[in-house]
Amino acid sequence: MNIILLGPQGSGKGTQAALLNARVGVVQVASGDVLRAAIQSASPLGLKAKSYYDVGELVPDELVIGLLIEAIDQVPAGTDVLLDGFPRTVAQARALDAALAERGSTIDKVVELRLPLDVAKERLSGRLVCRTCGAVYNERTRPPRVPRVCDIDGGPLYQRADDYPEAIEKRLKIWERENDALVGYYESRGILERVDAQGSPEDVSRDLLAIFAPSDASA
């Protein structure tokens, strides 16, 4: 099965993907990781992607889709694939559908982690980064032992400009507009599932398992 995981920053997509991998063997294919790995490996598509990166341009959708399909091909047959980070827009979703259809494949399911934007904003605004080693903390969910001091090296913790409330709000608003359209697209195809992402990671994971491995969850 090819599954897309949608949800705002702060909805815990990475954590949930890792839990699904550990519990039912779902393999996460995250577009950001795939791009970075391709560029490092200097494969033909990777070199092409790098030429856009180097001049600060967005990597075109067709190239990202090509890389994603290569990554999906490397997952053993019969293993569920969880796409994360792509598509972000309806145009990308259509292009991905067309590329998969050419190969006799399809997106089987789309799971949306639902989180009110004010909760996402609150979760994200507590992020702190160590100036010395780059370790990431969260005032609310993963506080350092001493306020604003890194546990590892005692370096000062600071809030990145990206994590200022105004920057977060702007980012989430843009995300919301694109996401609403994307969700509508998949809903009209009848493959959309929704999971409430407000609970603890364990609660969310239980709800996801009910979708990914219904028999395991009821056992």
Burial of 188 (0-12, 13-18, 19+ CB in 10 A): exposed
Task: Name which of 20 and 157 has its Cβ closer to Zn ion.
Answer: 157
- Please, are residues 8 and 176 in contact by the beta-carbon 8 Å criterion? yes
Q: Contact between 174 and Zn ion (CB under 5 A)?
A: no
Residue 13 is among the residues annotated as catalytic for this protein: yes
Q: Contact between 155 and Zn ion (CB under 5 A)?
A: yes
Residue of 140, 129, 122, 113 lying closest to 211 (CA atoms): 113
Q: Contact between 75 and Zn ion (CB under 5 A)?
A: no
Using CB under 5 A, pick the residue from 130, 192, 204, 208 that binds Zn ion.
130
Q: Contact between 132 and Zn ion (CB under 5 A)?
A: yes
Burial of 54 (0-12, 13-18, 19+ CB in 10 A): exposed
Using CB under 5 A, pick the residue from 47, 133, 146, 174 that binds Zn ion.
133
Using CB under 5 A, pick the residue from 62, 108, 118, 153 that binds Zn ion.
153
| φ and ψ of 115, to 5 deg | -145, 125
**Catalytic one among 160, 170, 177, 189?**
160
Instruction: Tell the smallest beta-carbon distance from residue 128 to Zn ion (Å).
Output: 10
Using CB under 5 A, pick the residue from 1, 152, 174, 181 that binds Zn ion.
152
For residue 208, give both structure tokens: 């996801």
User: Strand ranges (DSSP E) for the chain?
Assistant: 2-6, 27-30, 81-84, 109-114, 127-130, 136-138, 157-158, 192-196
- In the block, tokens 């219904």 appear at 214
Instruction: Tell the smallest beta-carbon distance from residue 208 to Zn ion (Å).
Output: 32
* Active site residues per annotation: 13, 88, 127, 160, 171
Contact residues for Zn ion, defined by CB under 5 A: 130, 132-133, 135, 150, 152-153, 155
